[in-house]
Amino acid sequence: MRISNSSLLLALSVSFTLGSAQRMEAANIEQGRRLALLYCARCHAIDKVSPSPLRIAPPFRSLHKRYPVETLEEALAEGIMTGHPSMPQFQFEPDQINDFIAFLKTLE
């Protein structure tokens, strides 16, 4: 049986999308909001309307316009060490990453 490249790509895309959807279902959005409040709200706006307290820190509601927020998963796992000059270094556990990303997705 021969599978075309486009069929293989479609199957992989559906598999990835379903995997992402399952991770989001398991995520706790409220816990993600609490993480944002604890680690990020001092500088970043973490809601849909407020300005960021630190002007150079982008509001979280605009992150998805710059790149897919899922691309933050690796940086959050390894520890974010760059960003704006006063950004603290921190590292999330896998379940915290899922919660945090799910929360960011609610701001899109």
Q: Which parts of 40-93 fold into alpha helices (H)? A: 63-66, 72-78
pLDDT computed for residue 53 by the predictor: 96
Query: Which of 50, 52, 46, 54 has the alpha carbon at shortest distance from 107?
Result: 46
Average of per-residue pLDDT across 18-22: 50
Summarize pLDDT for 52-80 with one digit per residue, the tens: 999 989 999 999 999 999 999 988 888 77
pLDDT computed for residue 2 by the predictor: 45
Residue 91: pLDDT band (50, 70, 90) is: confident
pLDDT computed for residue 101 by the predictor: 97
Q: Name 30's Cβ contacts closer than 8 Å, sequence gap at least 6.
A: 103
Query: What domains are there in the chain, each with its CATH number?
Result: 5-106 (1.10.760)
Average of per-residue pLDDT across 74-100: 82
What is the chain's Cα-based Rg? 16
What is the DSSP code (8-state) at residue 54?
S
Cα distances (angstroms) measured from residue 97 to each of 9, 35, 81: 27, 9, 16
Assessment of whether the complete model's pTM goes beyond 0.95: no
Enter the tokens of residue 60: 């979280």
